[in-house]
Structures are given as C-alpha cells and as structure tokens.
Amino acid sequence: MARAFAARGHDLALVARRTDRLDALAAELTARPGGPRVETAALDVTDDDAVAAVFSRMREELGGLDRVVVNAGIGNGRPVGSGKPDANLATARTNFVAALAQCEAAMEIFREQGSGHLVVISSVAADRGLRGSATVYSATKAGLSTLAEGIRSDVAGTAIDVTTIAPGFIRTDLNEGMSMPFAVDGPTGVRALVEAIERRPAHAYVPRWPWSLLGPALRLLPMPVVRALT
C-alpha cells in the first residue's frame, strides 16, 4: 500500500513496532527520481501515550497529516471460555482499544487542521458474530466499524472524511495456510484497497466482488448457514 500511495504522489509516514523493513522501504521509495518524502517511526499501537506522541511528531515532520490509515490488527483469538483469555484480550486491546487511541490522535489533529481523512480497516467479519477463534476478532471489527460510523456522524458537514474499509480475504504472510474462500493475492488486494481509500467513501467492501454482496447477506443468513460458511 505504501508503494501504491507513493506512486500516486503521496508523502508518507510509516509506523510499526519494527522499523528495519520500514526503513528499507523508505530508502527504496525516496531513491526514485521525484520520489515522495517518507518518514518512519517505531510504534507499538497498544502504547496509548506513544500513539499520541508519534502521531504528533509525524505531523510536525511532514507539516500536517492529510490521511491516517488505522490498519494494525491481530487475529490470534480462541473460543471464549476455552481457558485462553490472554489471546482474546490481546486481540481486543490491539484491534479495538489501540484503534480507538489512533482515532483519538488522528481526529485531534484533523479537528485542529479543519480537514483530514480517517480510514479504519475493519473486516467483512464485522457483519456477523463468528464462532471459535474468530469470535473476538469479529466483535472487535464490529466495534471498530461502529466507532467509525459514530465519528463520521460527529463530523458530518465538515472537511473531515471518515472511511470504513471492510476487506474480504487477502493473502499475506500472516494468513498463509488458512482456509480463505474468494481470497485474492496481495497485489490484487492492494489495488482494491488503495482505489477504495482514494474514493473516500463512507464504507467500502474490498474487493468489491463478491464481498459487497456477501457482506450484507451475512447479516440476514440464519445462524446454521453462517456456521457452515465460517
């Protein structure tokens, strides 16, 4: 996604817990003639104070932030009550509490600037409560989608846009070996994500086909059917 946004002329602030790959990517992107400005920083999104500090520093170094993509998330949950609460609590803290901290930091900047674009990466899983290891994951993504909708309502009529992206299955190193119906490869998923984000919609399924049909259908299907599908 960073490469795709850079190709569209965007300067970038890239943050993650480990900066070695970010720094290598920044060197790659800035080495190109006319390449973007790229700033990197170490950030664990579960550290609330660090989130606010790093967002503020990135704003100062770039002279403003036009868009923030809240993307960090994990999916290492377990069936609720199975004796593995730590995995579920970590999923909830990363996927929702840490996302809220990022939204707080981003929206404070956008309100001061009077403009901005907040993007939250939710999931098709937000459309229905799922079983087993996906129960807490789907709950956090549903919460994130609702959070984004509330923020969107709060800033309606202003120059601040809020976009919820609900991806289906996109193959990455993190989900290798998983059963993923209708999955697309990384480059296809990236193109769909970037194109959707650039349109600045209120909500978008990615890729649009088949998830724009399957996502809403999940809300209506009887639970035995949902269980069979997931």
State yes or no: pLDDT of 176 exceeds 80.
no
Give the whole-angstrom CA distance, residue 164 versus residue 70.
10
State yes or no: pLDDT of 179 exceeds 90.
no
Instruction: Give percent of the chain with pLDDT exceeding 90.
Output: 77
Show Cβ contacts of residue 57 under 8 Å, excluding neighbours closer than 6 positions: 41
Q: What is the pLDDT of residue 175?
A: 66
115-139 tens-digit pLDDT: 999 999 999 999 998 888 899 999 9
Mean pLDDT of 167-178: 78
User: Selecting from 3.30.479.30, 3.40.50.720, 3.30.70.260, 1.10.150.530, what CATH number does the domain 76-229 have?
Assistant: 3.40.50.720
* Owner of token pair 């700033």: 39
Give the whole-angstrom CA distance, residue 49 versus residue 69.
18
Tokens encoding 193:
């994500």
Q: What is the pLDDT of residue 220?
A: 80
**Phi, psi for 229 (deg, rounded to 5):** -75, -30
Q: Are the C-beta atoms of residues 77 and 140 closer than 8 Å to each other?
A: no
The yes-or-no answer on residue 205 being catalytic is no
User: Minimal CA–CA distance to 66: which of 33, 36, 42, 24?
Assistant: 36
Mean pLDDT of 3-19: 95
54-111 tens-digit pLDDT: 999 999 999 999 999 999 999 889 999 999 899 999 999 999 999 999 999 999 999 9
Which of 5, 55, 96, 137 is flagged as catalytic? Answer: 137
The mean predicted confidence, pLDDT, of the chain is: 93
**What pTM, to 2 d.p., does this model score?**
0.93
